[in-house]
Amino acid sequence: MKTRPVCVLWVCVCCLFAREGDGDGCDGNGGCAGSPWALLEEDDEVTAGMLAERHVCGREHGLEVDECDCERRNFSHSSCDGCGSPLGGSRHAYTLWVPNE
């Protein structure tokens, strides 16, 4: 099944750790008010980061990926797009991919 990117999701560290397999710092209570990635539909996929055209950092002017900070917000009061947690904290960019219709 082919997929297409639809938007950038800004997720909490709990969802980040659950996705990347680290697990440290996210026990389901302190780092997250919900279950990691609970807001995704069954056929949805996510990939770390965002597509190049979503960057506002000027990567087209020669910046390297590790010099860019577009994919991280140091502090946000917005709810996590992955689990819905209303807790403030850092948010990390993921691209949401959904099945083509």
* pLDDT > 90 fraction of the chain, expressed in percent and rounded: 39
Q: Average of pLDDT values for 74-91? A: 91
**pLDDT recorded at residue 58:** 60
Mention every residue, 6+ apart, whose C-beta is less than 8 A from residue 22: none
Name the token pair of 52: 């190049």
**pLDDT recorded at residue 56:** 72
For residues 17 and 23, the answer to whether their CB atoms sit within 8 Å is yes
pTM (whole model) above 0.85: no
Could you report the per-residue pLDDT of 50-76, keeping only the tens digit for each?
A: 887 777 776 556 656 566 778 889 999
Mention every residue, 6+ apart, whose C-beta is less than 8 A from residue 9: 46, 81, 82, 93, 94, 95, 96
Quick count: other Cβ atoms within 10 Å of Cβ 28? 13
